[in-house]
Structures are given as C-alpha cells and as structure tokens.
Chain A
C-alpha cells in the first residue's frame, strides 16, 4: 500500500522546550492511524506540523510523496482537518459556509458536492440554518462536511466526536469507516476515546512527552501490555515513568 503521510524524524522546539522530539511514522492509503497520548504529549503540535501551521524545527513531512515545505498549497488542496476547537463562521448559514469553503478549495460542481455531503451527513434540512445556532452534534456534522468538501486524500481528525451524544458519535464513526472504505483515504485520528480508536484504527501511536513510546495494532498492544482493553494500555503507558521516560 502507498504511504499518503510520511513523517521523518520531525522535531519541534519552542525555545528550550522540546514539544516533539524526533518522531517518524507513516499512514498508508485506506488506513486510519490513531494518535494517542495524554494532554501535552505533542499530538496537536504534530497535527499542526502536518497542516503546515507549524514549522518543524527539523525533519521532513511528505504528503502523497510531496514535500510539505516546498508544496504547501498543493498539499493543502488534498488534505483537510476537523477539530472541536475550531469552528465555521457562526453568522453564515450552513450552505453559505460550505459554498465559501468550496470556493477556497476550488471545488468543481459545488452544488453536486454540497448535495452529496448533505445527504451522506444528514444535514440537508440544516443548509439554510445559521451555523452558530446549531446543536453541537449538528455543528460537528457540518464541520465534517466542510472537511470533506475538497474530497481530501488525507483527513486529520482531532477528537472528532468529543462532546457528542452516543448516537451522533456512532453515526460519525460509521460514516468515517464507510467513507474511508469508499474513497481509500488516509486518516490520522487523535482521540481520547479508546473505544473509538479500537473500533476505527488499524494501528495506533502512543505519544508521551513529545515521543512515540509505543505503537502497533490495538489488539497487539493490549496483549503486549497484558491488559484487557486499550484504555488500560493508555493508562499504563501514560502513568508509567521509569519504563518509557
């Protein structure tokens, strides 16, 4: 399988503080890779570097075989991002927001694309609603529609189901599974929901203090650490000091 994301020994320092300490990983086509770690472990910094919002202190990032540093615009055309910490303009209607972002991503057949996403994400009835007046579940689906408006090859998800009720959370997970299968895209998923990660991810990276301290398939990590589920593995690794620091 072709690697759509290749991260080679990237480091990020803020002054003397090392936020990311030389990590490397790949994400294949048609793969969801989980990025796990406690708060402050370097997940957001890593995603920021993949999005070109942060310049790595050293190391290289390739998206679809293109070096990010030299092909920023070309790469941004083929990736997208969703996070509960960023929002779409609140005063615009859902349709206006999707139209604006379709223009920014130079989407052809905008009408058809919005119709397709509206149907898939069940937001057809929300298109004329003011974005800021939506519930968090509705906003989440609209943000996901925006993130898919450019048919990305690579999707970066930062806690995509945080603060969602179980029904909407399950709908989003099922949608992501189906969409990945249909479009063969690569997804990097940062999440604190271990059930979600176990269900969606082929493999996971465990980060702590800016380093990858373990990686592998969820079931292999559970076996390796002698635990019954991924949450227990997460707790063991994040609380451990001597073994992994």
Chain B
C-alpha cells in the first residue's frame, strides 16, 4: 500500500469538493433539512406518545444516525460515479494503483464527505430542539463506527456492481439504502415488523445499532451484546463486499467493462 497514491486519489476528490460551493452546500443542505424535519416530528411524538416521552431525542438521534449511514454509503458511490461521469475511469485504472489503495482512499474521502454534512446537522439539533446526540455517551462512537462500516460496505457492494455491469447499475446505487431501511428498524422497535421481516432484520447490523441507540436513550442502560452483534455482522458483510469487489474487478477485466466505462 502506498500512502502517496492513497493521498493522490484523496486529493482528486478533495479538490473537486473544495472547488465547488454548490457541492459543499449540497453536502450540508440535505442532512440539515432532514434533521430539522425529524426534529419537529420528534417533538410532536414526544408530546403525544407515552413510548417516547422519556426520551425526547430518540427519533431525532436515530434520524442523525441513519443520515450518517445514508451519506456514507451514497458518498462512497458518488466518488466512484464521479470517475465514470467525468470519463476519468480508464485513467484511474491504468494508474499503478492497487485495488486496496483505491478502496482505502475512497473510504477516507467518504468519511470526510459524511462529516461535512453531519457536523452542521448535529450542531443544529442543540439550539433548535435542545437535544444533544452526545447523550449516547461513549457508545456513540461505536454506533457511528458500526454505521460507517456498514455504509462503506454498501458503497463497495454497489461499486462492485458498477464495475461488473457498468453505468447501467447506477440506479441501484441510489436505491440500496431505501431497500434496506425498512429492515433497519430505524424509527421503530423490531417487534413492529412481521415475523418474516424480523428474520431478515436480525441478519443485518442495522437493527442492533438502532435498537441499542433506543435502549441507551430510553432505558439508560447499555446492552454490549447489541454492539457486538452489529460488529460481527459488519465484519461478515464487509469481508463479503471486499471479496465481491475483487471478483468484479477480475470479471470486468474479462468482460471489457473497464475500457468502455463512461456515460
């Protein structure tokens, strides 16, 4: 692994973001709107339901966590799609970069992209709704880390599809998170799901993360097992995504997708 190359690819995206005010605005705008909207919904539920009345910020906290996951995943996909849209894909893959270097660079860049959107949104919640996500304590870090890994995993899986099937796979890039969201139990306990959906939800890390966030905020207790299961499933899916990416790269070399990738 070469730090210079990883830094080089990071710079390519850093320049792209910092050169364009609309891009920065776009990164900040949607999370802030999302959090504001869910803040009002959260306030409404807090005053009208018994389930949430002990923890005003449950929905809002989960909305922030979900948004971080969403931004990480979409951010990773965007980085890959940027290369296709700019017809720079071939230049990138004829540069002497290892797959691991490309992935590492995109993983770091995706984190920075997500944080650019997330930090202002978190800062908004306190003055607007009197809520601090820091109430989750030290476990906030583990929940964010777990979401980050899963977001990256989804990004790598979608990028594998883009490598294998070309730009026609782009629409899937936008829809993966929406497909998984109902199973993630972001805003409701897992018992809300039909039994068959619960079985699917239990093999995803999301349910453990959001159940634990609610558990900490509502019951003021920590269930380490939830965090453990989240990391266990993350390790499984992350490994799977890396294997699939290498497989897709090899398949793309056989099929010729790398040459013809472009709009």
* Chain A residues packing against B (C-beta within 8 Å): 14, 44-45, 48, 51-55, 72-74, 76-77, 79-81, 83, 85-93, 96, 99-106, 146
Given that A53-B253, A55-B253 are known contacts, is A85 also in contact with B87, CB under 8 Å in the complex? yes
Contact in complex: A53, B93 (CB < 8 Å): yes
Least Cβ–Cβ distance between B94 and chain A, in angstroms: 5
Interface size of B by CB at 8 A reads 34
Chain B, interface SS category:
helix
Contact in complex: B91, A146 (CB < 8 Å): yes
Least Cβ–Cβ distance between A127 and chain B, in angstroms: 14
Q: Does B255 contact A (CB under 8 A)?
A: yes
User: How far apart are the CA atoms of A21 and B256 in the complex, in Å?
Assistant: 16
Q: Across the two chains, which residue of chain A brings its CB closest to B88? A: A89
20 A-B interface contacts by CB (under 8 A): A14-B256, A48-B259, A52-B94, A53-B93, A54-B253, A55-B250, A55-B253, A55-B254, A73-B96, A80-B94, A86-B87, A86-B90, A86-B262, A87-B88, A89-B12, A89-B86, A93-B19, A101-B91, A104-B96, A104-B97
User: How far apart are the CA atoms of A53 and B253 in the complex, in Å?
Assistant: 6
Least Cβ–Cβ distance between B78 and chain A, in angstroms: 13
Least Cβ–Cβ distance between B19 and chain A, in angstroms: 6
Interface string of B53-88 (1 = CB under 8 A from A): 000000000000000000000000000001000111
Contact in complex: A54, B94 (CB < 8 Å): no
Q: Taking A86-B88, A87-B88, A92-B12 as given, write out 7 further A-B residue pairs in contact, using a Cβ cutoff of 8 Å, ordered by the A residue number.
A: A45-B259, A85-B262, A88-B88, A91-B16, A103-B9, A104-B92, A106-B4
Chain A, interface SS category:
mixed
Residues of B within 8 A of A90 (CB): 86
Q: Does B95 contact A (CB under 8 A)?
A: yes
Contact in complex: A76, B96 (CB < 8 Å): yes
Contact in complex: B94, A87 (CB < 8 Å): no
Contact in complex: A76, B94 (CB < 8 Å): yes
Given that A103-B8, A105-B95 are known contacts, is A87 also in contact with B87, CB under 8 Å in the complex? yes
